[in-house]
């Protein structure tokens, strides 16, 4: 296993150019002085974009700029240079904020710097922060996107099938599970919002840089495989949805693949986001007839939202379905996607509160959409022999069709729309990670000719996944099972890395997690670990009771937590009185300094120093992965031998 701290910084560091020799002038050449004269690692600042004469971003391997700035007001990329008093005429008197030293950030692709160009608005770099609810609303509309898209994208083909299965087999009784997922979604995704806005570096690259190549490549490799299989399931959803209308998969799947490539490879982040909003708007409109024409029992729906229970009592199948609902709603790819999409949209710490609101809105939309599908399915199978006998999403569409041909078509279109949104988001998260890991240009702001490897990876994933679905005799059922098992492997490790990164002072500085958030996140990760472990074991060994597995894992986690807490107390007691500096405290800064703080370039980060808690977490993660991989290997041998 590769220990962290592969990258060491020497005693001499490059000195930023002075304002007189700013980047872009002949005198802008770095010098070296002792590292002691460098600005402290907690110095507030943020990267300012540089642009060429045609307005395009410079190559990502150019020197990062140091300059005097105001933290909020910066020159417009590609615009004219500011006029100097006494040189080219009079200058209007404008309020000048106090200048602060702005340092380079760790942003890997210079296309990730510049104006925020959202589907519903634009925020220029020189826009001043104004108060007032109208201005805040305009700002929010420009920011909204990453949180909404990642949440709605999670209601994909697998999500629609899972929620429909819950309604068909257990009526309204599992609605409470959806309500409990709202805080889980908000806590997890809020952490990646901060990571993206503050660091400017994708999730995969941060894991590699801070935890070593082994963990980085394990996470990325598992993500690539899991995402690919998930995309295959999205195309299965496309084929099922359009087969309801009599369209052959050999027509529907290639058309969907071409649509996905065309939307993403347009060379404009704004066009891509607007296209995603069109699909999201279509899904919201399609939910309306499902809500009003399914005649839900409002009182019963409200009751089951707040009162836990399982229709027919607790059973192994019910436990597995609850785990599947959690797994399809809290997916590993979401962490990688939203962090990179926040970066690509050029959201900085100044706009974190708006992106938090975007994430909260998305969590409400995703849970509301899931509830609509579940409740409407109860109506579709009411007074039929289909209750408790779920087969597929197409079977649910046919059940709707028996009630009303119109509702059957609406449900099929909901499945189609969900599959397209899910495929677009999951594939893009894979291409983002590909660009992060291999340090290539990876931005939707770039044209195809300027980011060929990025767009080629996206296109290749889409085409290969579509091809798998069209293969005669492809084991599509086995692929769906593999998605569940691999999600159980990746989700706990991704969650642990997320929590560790959000407590790394070199990465987040003043934006580190607060103590209460760490406690809440630890509880959530423990629950996800238990559920994921139950799903993995139940998937591999179908004869074992899921309820018994969950109880055993819960007991093991409880005992392990007590032992871990005692061990940490002992370790802390031994460290008292030593000269070991405390490096995990949040730096004390003013609000202005905090809003301008960005993670420094990766090469300037201090090596990770693993605390006893971190070492314990990694040890437990090693144990979980070792057992899981062993079980997967056993299952693979059984399948290969026909057992």
* pLDDT digits 0-9 by tens, 106-142: 888 888 988 999 999 999 877 766 678 888 899 999 9
pLDDT of amino acid 85: 43
Tens-place pLDDT, residues 169-222:
999 999 999 998 999 899 999 999 999 999 999 999 999 999 888 888 888 888
Mean pLDDT of 447-465: 94
From residue 126, alpha-carbon distances to 344, 553, 593 in Å are 19, 54, 18
Provide mean pLDDT across the span 58-66.
39
**Among all chains, which residue has been given the structure tokens 């199978």?**
381
pLDDT greater than 50 at residue 372:
yes
Highest mean pLDDT, choosing among 59-63, 513-517, 533-537? 513-517
Between 548 and 453, whose confidence is greater?
453
Report how far residue 150's alpha carbon sits from residue 152's, in angstroms, rounded to the nearest whole number. Answer: 6
Q: What is the pLDDT of residues 149-162, one digit of tens each?
A: 999 998 899 889 99
Instruction: State the first-to-last Cα distance of the chain, in angstroms, to the nearest integer.
Output: 34
In this structure, which topology does domain 147-488 adopt according to CATH? Hydantoin permease (1.10.4160)
Which of 382-394 are b and which e, b meaning 16 or more Cβ less than 10 Å from the residue's Cβ? Answer: eeeebbeebeebb
Q: What is the mean pLDDT of the chain?
A: 79
**CA 581 to mean position of chain CA atoms:** 33
Quote the CA–CA distance of 640 and 637 in Å, as a whole number: 5
Instruction: Report whether pLDDT(75) > 60.
Output: no
pLDDT at 571: 60
Q: What is the pLDDT of residue 484?
A: 66
- Distance, in Å, from the CA atom of 606 to the CA atom of 293, rounded to the nearest integer, reads 60
Interatomic CA distance for residues 389 and 392, integer angstroms: 10
Residues 6+ apart with CB under 8 A from 213: 2, 6
- For residues 145 and 377, is the Cβ–Cβ distance under 8 A? no
Domain-wise residue ranges, the chain = 147-488
Q: List pLDDT tens digits, range 76-114.
A: 444 444 444 444 444 444 444 443 434 456 888 888 988
Taking residues 523-527, report their average pLDDT: 82
What is the predicted pLDDT for the residue at 388?
87
* Tokens of residue 130, six digits: 């104004």
Q: Residue 104 has what pLDDT? A: 55
Q: CA quadruple 428, 433, 438, 442: dihedral positive or negative?
A: positive
How far, CA to CA in Å, does 351 sit from each of 57, 196, 597?
Answer: 22, 11, 13
Dihedral sign computed on CA atoms, order 331, 332, 333, 338:
positive
Predicted confidence at residue 526, as pLDDT, reads 80
Residue whose C-alpha is closest to residue 146's, from 85, 178, 193: 193
- Report the distance separating Cα 554 and Cα 565, nearest Å: 16
Is residue 346 scored above 60 in pLDDT?
A: yes
Neighbours of 246 (CB within 10 A): 6
| Predicted local distance difference test score (pLDDT) of residue 329 | 79
């Amino acid at each position: 296993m590769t220990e962290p701290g592969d990258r060491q910084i020497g005693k001499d560091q490059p000195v930023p150019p002075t304002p007189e020799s700013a980047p872009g002038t002949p005198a802008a050449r770095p010098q070296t002085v002792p590292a002691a004269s460098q600005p402290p690692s907690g110095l507030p600042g943020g990267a300012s974009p540089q642009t060429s004469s045609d307005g395009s971003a410079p190559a990502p391997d150019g020197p990062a700029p140091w300059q005097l700035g105001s933290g909020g007001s910066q020159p417009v990329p590609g615009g004219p240079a500011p006029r100097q008093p006494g040189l080219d005429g009079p200058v209007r008197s404008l309020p000048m904020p106090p200048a602060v030293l702005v340092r380079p950030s760790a942003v890997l692709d210079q296309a990730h710097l510049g104006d925020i160009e959202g589907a519903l608005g634009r925020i220029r770099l020189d826009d001043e922060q104004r108060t007032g609810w109208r201005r805040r609303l305009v700002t929010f509309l420009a920011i909204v996107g990453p949180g909404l898209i990642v949440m709605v994208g999670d209601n994909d083909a697998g999500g629609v099938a899972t929620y429909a299965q819950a309604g068909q087999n257990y009526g309204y009784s599992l609605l409470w599970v959806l309500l409990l997922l709202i805080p889980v979604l908000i806590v997890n995704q809020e952490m990646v919002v901060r990571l993206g806005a503050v660091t400017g570096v994708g999730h995969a690259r941060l894991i590699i840089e801070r935890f070593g190549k082994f963990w980085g490549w394990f996470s990325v490799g598992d993500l690539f495989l899991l995402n690919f299989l998930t995309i295959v399931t999205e195309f299965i959803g496309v084929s099922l949805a359009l087969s309801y209308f009599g369209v052959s998969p050999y027509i529907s799947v290639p058309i969907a693949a071409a649509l996905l490539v065309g939307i993403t490879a347009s060379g404009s982040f704004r066009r891509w986001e607007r296209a995603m909003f069109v699909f999201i708007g279509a899904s919201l409109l399609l939910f309306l007839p499902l809500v009003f024409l399914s005649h839900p029992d409002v009182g019963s729906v409200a009751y089951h939202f707040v009162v836990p229970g399982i229709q027919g009592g607790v059973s192994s199948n019910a436990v597995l379905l609850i785990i599947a609902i959690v797994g399809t709603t809290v997916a590993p790819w979401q962490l990688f996607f939203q962090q990179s999409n926040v970066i690509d949209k050029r959201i900085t710490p100044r706009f974190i509160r708006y992106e938090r609101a975007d994430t909260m809105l998305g969590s409400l939309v995703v849970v509301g959409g899931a509830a609509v599908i579940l409740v409407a399915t109860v109506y579709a199978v009411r007074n039929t022999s289909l209750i408790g006998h779920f087969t597929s999403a197409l079977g649910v569409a046919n059940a709707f069709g028996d009630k009303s041909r119109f509702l059957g078509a609406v449900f099929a279109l909901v499945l189609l729309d969900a599959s397209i949104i899910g495929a677009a988001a999951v594939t893009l998260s894979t291409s983002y990670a590909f660009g992060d890991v291999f340090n290539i240009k990876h931005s939707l702001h770039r044209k195809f000719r300027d980011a060929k490897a990025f767009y080629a990876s996206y296109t290749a994933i889409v085409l290969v996944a579509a091809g798998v679905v069209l293969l005669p005799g492809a084991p599509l059922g086995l692929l769906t099972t593999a998605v569940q098992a691999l999600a159980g492997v990746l989700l706990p490790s991704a969650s642990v890395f997320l929590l560790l990164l959000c407590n790394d002072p070199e990465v987040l500085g003043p934006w580190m997690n607060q103590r209460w958030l760490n406690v809440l996140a630890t509880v959530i990760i423990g629950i996800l670990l238990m559920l994921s472990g139950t799903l993995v074991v139940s998937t591999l060994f179908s004869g074992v009771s899921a309820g018994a597995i969950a109880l055993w894992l819960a007991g093991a986690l409880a005992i392990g937590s007590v032992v871990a807490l005692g061990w940490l107390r002992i370790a802390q007691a031994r460290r008292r009185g030593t000269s070991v500096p405390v490096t995990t405290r949040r730096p004390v800064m003013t609000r202005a300094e905090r809003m301008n703080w960005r993670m420094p370039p990766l090469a300037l980060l201090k090596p990770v120093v693993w605390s006893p808690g971190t070492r314990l977490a990694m040890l437990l993660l090693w144990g979980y992965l070792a057992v899981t991989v062993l079980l997967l290997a056993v299952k693979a041998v059984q399948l290969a031998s026909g057992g």
